[in-house]
Amino acid sequence: DAGVIQSPRHEVTEMGQEVTLRCKPISGHDYLFWYRQTMMRGLELLIYFNNNVPIDDSGMPEDRFSAKMPNASFSTLKIQPSEPRDSAVYFCASSFSLGSYEQYFGPGTRLTVT
């Protein structure tokens, strides 16, 4: 398996623009997680899905953020409108199950909002 795939790897956009980040989890994994990493706050969970259903979105900072998982092999994280404080690295991770299984992370998308 190619591992968790994220695109784009880098995104530079202007304030107010819509940004869409994409993730393809490892095949067979039932759980998908979106995390955000900043120097100040470290790694924080934004939202996670189980079998394509959002389970916990308490980490989504504002209504400007939304996430979808239309099928088992694809998820998107959208920011509309983007702001400079959204600049961070966004990671997608997947897991076969919870508890006994590791989470595997993608390479991340580095977002810069100017």
Applying CB under 8 A, the residues found at the interface with other proteins are 33, 42-45, 48, 55-56, 59, 91, 93, 98-108, 110
**Could you tell me where the beta strands, DSSP code E, fall in 10-57?**
10-13, 19-24, 31-38, 42-50, 53-56
Nearest distance from C-beta of residue 98 to other proteins, angstroms: 4
Q: Say if strands 19-24 and 5-7 run parallel, antiparallel, or are unpaired.
A: antiparallel
User: Is the Cα dihedral 65, 96, 74, 53 positive or negative?
Assistant: negative
